[in-house]
Structure 1
């Protein structure tokens, strides 16, 4: 009896090579795209349904602590865990990927940076 493991292994190699040949250009394109700064994104409109649902305000000092018991003094978008990029006047937020938010803003999803 002949034991020829080369046939399954050759098939596996050809399959892997084909997947790599198709995937390499896609991976290259994804990895070489420039990052977009928060200033490139439009400001989050205050009437955005998600912003309204999360109680987003552009100035955390104007948050009514009685109406929002989860508000902690000193919390704002610049020191939130969901910030994307460096703190500033306008910042990117993972919760609003298509828009930029005010660095001094706040919403109920605020979480302290780790």
Structure 2
């Protein structure tokens, strides 16, 4: 799919996944801020939410609420990523950033990381 505003809006209309709809809303809201539209995504991937690039996901209270709201979708993405990479523990994906004493992401630190 080509990255166009029309395609993003169509994806949002045709998908049931609430997390994908939320991401589509983010992209639509930021569309005019970027000359090179792929940077809407790469800025988040390169710098993470803690950089302030996603203003509504800076503080733990915000990221934990986001994680809890989209827990099922995030866990499905995590499962798909682990399955696709052949890694079978979040600590293998996140390295030292993952709190191994909280393997099920019950506490805020790992929830923040997953958000």
TM-score by length of 2: 0.22
Q: Which has the higher strand share?
A: 1
The structure showing larger relative contact order (alpha-carbon pairs under 8 Å, at least 6 residues apart) is 1
Using structure 1 for the length normalisation, give the TM-score. 0.23
